[in-house]
Amino acid sequence: MQDVTAQVAAWAAGLSLDAVPASVVAKAKLLLADITGIALLTRQESESTPSLVGALRALELDRGRFRCIGDPAGYAAPAAALLTGAMAHSIDFDDTHVAALHHPSAPVIPAALVAAQVAGASGRELLAGIVVGVEVMCRIGVALGPGSHYGKGFYATPTCGAFGATAAAARVLGLSATQVEHAFGTALSETSGSGQFHVNGAWTKRFQVGHAAACGLTAAALAQAGFTGASEALEGASGFYRLYSNEARPERTVQDLGQQWEIARIGFKPYPACRGMHAAVDAALALYVRHQVPSAEIASATVGLCRQSLDLVGWPEDRKQQPTSVIEAQFSAPFGVAVGLRHGRLGWSDYATELCDPTIRALMSRIHSVHDADVEALFPSQVAGRVTITTQSGQSFSELVPIPRGEPENPLSEAELRAKFDGLVLPYLGSDGATALFAWILDLEHQPGLDTFFDLALPRIGGT
């Protein structure tokens, strides 16, 4: 199919928020609230943030006027996008799109936030940029054929995220359709993202998402300045789809564009871990509530997963049963299930308290991940999971969760999303500060600018 890139560019440049359904606008604001809470916490607590900030300081990129969530400093524009994007993805708590197998908001929203500062844009313009960027990124991810993309070793959040970030920044900056197309062509040259971080739990998982945000911002700025980018960046002979997948369907990118909204299919995470293990954690929590079998009484447990999830969180078994870092634990079904079976929860603080706990480590060694045909049958429309425990006395209990909590078909309520937000920001903002920031975001379309947002997101209690 010809002219896919041009069609996407024209839509991105021309979208009016008046044409966006109210439900999509509301969803975009909740995406911003979710990312804001995550980035505010990770600015203070993520183990990789100090090195990112240190590198930016060493390169004298902390002397600009562009602000990041939870940070009093000013940065150069690309550095602000990079840092915010990395922080948004640093605890694996950010939203996901199952069909695209990526995290849409982490690269898109940081690029939009910095572009809004560059342009002096209103909250309404920021909101339009978020809608455009997230929608474009999700559509590209679905059209790409994520199974083939991941099979080549890529990581879709930064690869697709570079285009989503470009679209978001371009919309906020007010680029024409032709300029957006040039921006996509430039973004293609920086589109990267490798799954090699799985080997040792590397922080590059986080960095490359920030890089995608910075790439998108830079590509949009170059196009605005008249820079010529490659045409047909998506569908061309050496374009994104041909280079990065063997199963791409370029026409899917623009199918029902502006009529059906991929943003509506985004799910929010209740646990800071790979989405591929969320249904299994849900199952473990259900078993905890219904049976409360003490850890010592669990002789063994199996985690039933689809093949895609097994490759991410189940195998190789010896490594998944004994993770040694936060990122390894976030991709370990035995860890998430063990914490769920023992405590009836899985939260960010559990990585600090439970990763080295001898009881949890002993329980992990008795948890085995297996391929489950029933779970596989539900994929890729849903990433299901099953947990079966066998007690020392020979009793067996099993729980199948077909749709993980947080997906649109099994959604978190706005109250639950607010509780997640509070859990992230209360230690640094206090109750009144958290309420003020959340309320500001929910009224985004009426905000004249972003200064108040960044002021409200500054820690007041024990932060940087």
CA 141/CA 96 separation, integer angstroms:
11
**Domains 4-267 and 275-401 in one fold:** no
Query: Residue 328 CA to chain centroid, in angstroms?
Result: 17
> Among candidates 40, 291, 13, which has minimal Cα distance to 133?
13
Residue range 401-414: average pLDDT?
97
CA 462/CA 286 separation, integer angstroms:
36
Residue with tokens 């209990």: 397
The pLDDT value recorded for residue 403 is: 98
The pLDDT value recorded for residue 464 is: 65
The pLDDT value recorded for residue 426 is: 98
pTM of the predicted structure, to 2 decimals: 0.97
The pLDDT value recorded for residue 355 is: 97
Residue with tokens 């804001």: 36
The pLDDT value recorded for residue 312 is: 94
The pLDDT value recorded for residue 16 is: 97
> What is the tens place of the pLDDT at every residue in 429-449?
999 999 999 999 999 999 999
pLDDT > 70 fraction of the chain, expressed in percent and rounded: 99
Q: pLDDT band at 399, cuts 50/70/90?
A: very high
Cβ-based neighbours of 387, under 8 Å, separated by 6 or more: 280, 283, 284, 287, 301, 302, 303, 304, 337, 341, 398, 399
CA distances from 12 to 56, 168, 181, 209 (A): 31, 8, 10, 21
What does the block give as tokens for 460? 């007041």
pLDDT > 90 fraction of the chain, expressed in percent and rounded: 98
The domain limits of the chain are 4-267, 275-401
At residue 295, does pLDDT exceed 80? yes
CA 338/CA 190 separation, integer angstroms:
40
Strands of 47-140, DSSP E: 66-67, 74-75, 96-97
Handedness of CA 407, 208, 183, 71 (dihedral sign): positive
At residue 85, does pLDDT exceed 80? yes
Does a cis peptide bond (omega within 30 degrees of 0) precede residue 250?
A: no
pLDDT averaged over the chain?
A: 98
The pLDDT value recorded for residue 183 is: 99
The pLDDT value recorded for residue 123 is: 99
> What is the tens place of the pLDDT at every residue in 154-212?
999 999 999 999 999 999 999 999 999 999 999 999 999 999 999 999 999 999 999 99
Half-sphere CA count of 308, side-chain side, radius 13 A: 24
End-to-end CA distance of the chain: 50
At residue 1, does pLDDT exceed 70? no
Residue with tokens 């150069």: 76
The pLDDT value recorded for residue 120 is: 99
> What is the tens place of the pLDDT at every residue in 125-150?
999 999 999 999 999 999 999 999 99
At residue 461, does pLDDT exceed 90? no
What does the block give as tokens for 413? 């309520």
The pairing of strands 367-371 and 298-305 is: parallel
CATH of 275-401, one of 3.30.1330.120, 3.90.870.10, 3.40.50.2020, 3.40.1650.10: 3.30.1330.120
> What is the tens place of the pLDDT at every residue in 309-324?
999 999 999 999 999 9
Residue range 88-92: average pLDDT?
98
> What is the tens place of the pLDDT at every residue in 326-365?
999 999 999 999 999 999 999 999 999 999 999 999 999 9
Residue with tokens 């739990």: 201
> What is the tens place of the pLDDT at every residue in 48-76?
999 999 999 999 999 999 999 999 999 99
Q: pLDDT band at 2, cuts 50/70/90?
A: low
CATH of domain 4-267: 1.10.4100.10
The secondary element (H helix, E strand) that includes residue 388 is strand 385-391
At residue 463, does pLDDT exceed 90? no
